[in-house]
Structure formats: C-alpha cells, structure tokens
Structure 1
C-alpha cells in the first residue's frame, strides 16, 4: 500500500468525524422515526459485510474494495495518537478502484456521556450543523430494518456526503458514511441507495 494512498484515506476519515466527537450532554424531544424503504438493485451490490460486535450488516457498492489491515492500522493509530479520539473506532473502509468514492463503518461509544436517545439526536444534529456550516444539509429520522437512524445528506463544493447514525445498535452506535465525488454522483447514486437499503441485523438471517 503506497503511503500517499494511506495518507489520503486517513485525511478523509478524520475530516468526516473529528469534529463530531466533542462530547457534551443535552436533551430534547425527538419525533418518531419513519420507516423508509429504499429501491435495491442487487446487481449493483457486493456480498454482505457484517460487524462482528454489533451484527450490523450491509452490502457496499459492487467493485469497491475494503482497506487492508495495514491501512486500517495506520489510520487508527493516527486518529488515536494525534487526534485523541478514544471513544471512536474505525471498523472498515471501502472505496472504488480509483479511490474517488468512499464508504466507512465506525463504532462510537457515547454510553458514559449520554443517557438517552434524545441527547444523542441533539448532539449529532448540532455537531453536523456546526461542522458543515454553509453547506446544504438535509436530514431525517428513519427506520431501516429494526434500526433507528439519523440520516444526513450534505452537499459540499466537491462531494455529496451521506451520513447515517444508528442510535439503537448495541453495545455501541454505528456510524456509516458515504463520500461521493460530485463528478461521479449521477452514476453511483443508485448503488449508494441500494447499499443503504441493504442494511440489516445479521442475526435475523
């Protein structure tokens, strides 16, 4: 694995999450999570990948490859040593062959800081709004399979970001991020929507 590739992936992940982990506690009233059904084209998807800790499972877009252990170790070490992200763990990365479009799966442990779902919802809403100030942000509270998720679509000058925060996974919150170059958005969006629609609890298989 070339060093510049490792560096690029590290910068991408750090950009996505570093400002979301300034922890504080608060509370608000939350609305209901609406069941949402995505159109799924199985021909555009890989085989299912599963997180062994939470049993969270999904299919990433076909043709995307997972990061090797050296790449993951390098990124995790940098995040821990340079950015002090102790309650965040990058689980896996996937990217297309040109490393233009990315998907990451992470676990976030907020159990010691937040006691209920309302405080978690408020936390992510405020942090994402602050981080992407000036960008177009669309958000919703949805149910996929049995998961309650905060879904954000964020449009930046270079990328369209999809961020899904699954607040009822255990023992930790799952954070699923897609970063799509605006230049490839139209050709990849069906694959991304299919990927999101494939999310499920592997224990139900």
Structure 2
C-alpha cells in the first residue's frame, strides 16, 4: 500500500514517514501544498495524510481540488485547530477522518488502517483468504495458524492483494502501489515476489490470470 504524507514540519514529516514505513507502507513525502497537490493528482495513492496549515497552498484547498478532480483516495487530515467549525470544514472539503495535533503515532496508524480497510470494503482488521490470515494491526501473517515470516516487499504485496481479494490486479498496478517515488521500479520483480510468496505460503491462493495479472482467491472463468 502506497501513502502520501503532506506535512511542512520536517521533523514531523520524517517521523510520520518512518512510522508508516515501519508499519509496512511505501511512503512518499511532500512539504508544501503545491507539491502535495501535484503528487496527489498524478499518483494513485491508497491514502493520504494531509496537514491543513501548509505553505504555498492551504491543505483544505488541496483537498477540495483533489475531490473536484475526482480523486477518491481516503484522506486523514492533521490539524492544530481545535474549533469544531474547522473540523466541519475539513469534512465538508472531502476529508475522511482527522487527528488533532499533538497526537500519538499509534492513533494515526490505527485511523489509517481503518480508512484503508473501509476503502477496500473490509470491516475487520484481520484479512482472511482461505487458510491465509493477515492481521493489519500487528503485520503478522499465518497459514492454518502457523506464522509465516515475510520480507517487507513480500508483506506489501500480500497485503495489497488481500485488501483487493477477488479482483484481478495487474503488474502495473502493483508497481504503482508497492514502491515509493525513490525506488527503482521493475515489473519483472513483482513476479519474483509472487513466486517467493507462493513458496512461503505453501497454498494455492495467488492465481495468475494470463495476460491480466494476479488474483487472490479462486481463478475466474475467462470467456
């Protein structure tokens, strides 16, 4: 899952990116409203953490422009404003949730997990496909109750497929959502990670749909 952090405070931006990276997300960073607006308009992020008080372009303007342009990714706004009217403005601009500064990082992580689950149509923090279970709170993966140790890239791939279980996901989509903007991208490496995942999971839950991509779950009938 690929996230965008738009925060002008360098220390807070770095802390957010580090915490999200440690939680298994690919993270891009922006430090002002114009840069954040551009990235949000050109990259298919799974969710955005957006500060309201940004230089060069206010966070509410960024959000309103995204929504006007049809960008539907979940947005968690960060605000130092305590007035209820400011929170209402954020929701009316298109925010999905908010956190008031100062905040605990665990709260941000929990709210993002909830936004990502809801966006993918999941109610529980535990994603299940056949014998495979992935706990989004702890990052733990198991097969038939036995723990499975994955690398960060393997975990990102499995998490994305499990969030979108039952839908064919192309290699191009996986590349867009598994790597941040500074990573070297090669769609051929996706196949390598799929092979490794299949070996570690040791169950036939990741299907290859020829010419289309990958599917978590039973292979569909192609007419």
- Aligning the two structures, in what range does the TM-score lie when normalised by the shorter sequence? under 0.3
Name the one with the larger strand percent: 1
Q: Higher relative contact order at CA 8 Å, sep ≥6: structure 1 or structure 2?
A: 1
Name the one with the larger helix percent: 2
TM-score normalised over the length of structure 1: 0.27
